[in-house]
Amino acid sequence: MFPPSPKQAFLVLNSGSSSIKFSVFEKTSDDVLTMILTGQLTGIGTDAQFSVKGAKGETLAKESWAERDTGAIAPLLQSLIAWITDRLPDTPLAAAGHRVVHGGRRFVHPVQVTPQVILDLESLIPLAPLHQPQNVSAIRVLAETFHDLPQIACFDTAFHHSQPRRARSYALPRELTDRGLHRYGFHGLSYEYIARHMPSIAPEIAEGRIVVAHLGNGSSLCALHRGESVDTTMGFSALEGVPMGTRSGSIDPGVLIYLIREMGMGADELEHLLYQRSGLLGVSGISNDMRVLLESDSPDAAEAVDLFCFRVAKEIAALAASMGGIDALVFTAGIGEHSEPVRARICERLAWLGITLDATANARAEGLISQPGSLPVLVVPTNEEYMIARHTADLVALKNVA
């Protein structure tokens, strides 16, 4: 008999339409989770490329997997798991954790995947047609190929279930709300990570009213009170709220009626317009990438950046109103963590809230970036992958004990 391995590996998967991002976390006997590998499969369906980095960012593999790319993800996921298990001969793969965009009303916590759960997740595809199919298909493939590998689904919507009904409702006829046409909110794994870590980062404000600005390619903001989500800017879909890389954010629904009636747009065209052709890209006509726009001398790029900062500042104030006040502002995700000028412009608009940034601290972009006496403003790097690994490891441990 061999003693059980003191270490376990957890695979974290984020499956998109043409790419799969993955990370592997190692759990040691003292329950500490450390990311040891991270990588992606890109170009799936055309010319799949596989790349992996180690914990310090060193490249471990960069290969073409085009010959295994039939357009189906099953052979690619099998190759990925074979590569990982070869690489980690002494650390058994204990489970896979998935990022699933929509949990609907039923899934308000991470859940172990069963055949019924897969069916339930498939039934939610109409709520998130651009992301849910890929999320569920990766789960189904692993369930069919690796019968003994426990899988845990972690939801972008789940963290927001603590919100009061008024924050979740649209002013629509009750029967539509009852059918699930209400606000769900997204980026929940990111907000949950921030909420869990605030007590160690800034214990004096962790229990207070915090607005978290998750500004990336997809952007949203969340009102956290005592570590729970009480309001957020994304709603029924990941379109509501602030403008994003290629998404419009909130627009008057009357615009949609006009586009349908006067411009003859159908559902697919509208979806493409609002998800792919709008936001920073649509306004600038140049790029969805904030870095490119900040470096550009085009007035249209400047307008896109200005519109983004204006709308984010407005939402921060709206979420403060939602909580009856604000005790701290946190920036996170690609733009939130890395863009000094965007943080500065947003905060300039919020001087009336008592916010004054410390320019040197803002340039350093770590922890507290506001001046003494200001409403505290912090930069906190998010880590959605860690959150998925944590839920996965915790649920697997719980099941084993049970």
Instruction: Name the residues annotated as catalytic.
Output: 156
* 339 is a site residue for ligand ADP (CB under 6 A): yes
Residue closer to ligand ADP (CB basis): 289 or 358: 289
As a whole number of angstroms, the distance between CA 342 and CA 345 comes to 5
Q: What is the spatial order of strands in the sheet that 49-54 belongs to?
A: 59-64, 49-54, 33-42, 20-27, 8-15, 93-100, 151-155, 111-112
Q: The tokens of 305 are what?
A: 């950046």
Instruction: Candidates 16, 110, 185, 245: give the one binding ligand ADP (CB under 6 A).
Output: 245
297 class by beta-carbon count within 10 Å (0-12 exposed, 13-18 middle, 19+ buried): exposed
Among 21, 53, 277, 338, binds ligand ADP (CB under 6 A): 338
Nearest distance from C-beta of residue 315 to ligand ADP, angstroms: 17
Of the ranges 157-165, 268-276, 287-295, 345-353, which one interacts with ligand ADP (CB under 6 A)? 287-295
Q: Any contact of residue 189 with ligand ADP (CB under 6 A)?
A: no
Query: Closer to ligand ADP at the Cβ: 104 or 334?
Result: 334
- Write the CB contacts of 338 (distance below 8 Å, at least 6 apart in sequence): 365
CB atoms within 10 A of CB 311: 18
User: Does 364 sit near ligand ADP (CB under 6 A)?
Assistant: no
Name which of 87 and 345 has its Cβ closer to ligand ADP.
345
Interface mask (CB under 6 A) for ligand ADP, residues 207-226, using x and -?
A: ---------xxx--------
150 is a contact residue toward ligand ADP (CB under 6 A): no
* Residue whose CB is less far from ligand ADP, 226 or 291: 291
Dist CA 221 CA 329 (whole Å): 10
- When binding is defined by CB under 6 A, the residue of 316, 333, 347, 380 that contacts ligand ADP is 333
The continuous run of DSSP H or E covering 388 comes out as: helix 384-401
β-strand partners of 41: 20, 50
**Based on CB atoms, which residue is closest to ligand ADP, 83 or 191?**
191
Task: Please tell me whether residue 21 binds ligand ADP under the rule CB under 6 A.
Answer: no
Measured from the CB of residue 98, what is the shortest distance to ligand ADP in angstroms?
A: 16
Q: Does 272 contact ligand ADP by CB under 6 A? A: no
- Least separation in angstroms between residue 141's CB and ligand ADP is 23
> Per CB under 6 A, does 335 bind ligand ADP?
yes
User: Taking a C-beta distance cutoff of 8 angstroms, is the pair 213, 330 a contact?
Assistant: yes
Q: Give the nearer residue to ligand ADP in terms of CB position, either 103 or 216.
A: 216
The secondary element (H helix, E strand) that includes residue 88 is none
- Work out the angle at residue 50's Cα, subtended by the Cα atoms of residues 7 and 280, and round it to the nearest 5 degrees: 105
The yes or no reply on residue 282 touching ligand ADP (CB under 6 A) is: no
> Distance (Å, rounded) from C-alpha 290 to C-alpha 320?
26
Q: Which residues of 166-195 are buried (b: 16+ CB within 10 A; e: fewer)?
A: ebbeeeeeeeebeeeebbbbbbbbbbbbbb
Contact flag: residue 182 with ligand ADP (CB under 6 A):
no
Binding site for ligand ADP (CB under 6 A): 216-218, 245, 289-291, 333-335, 338-339
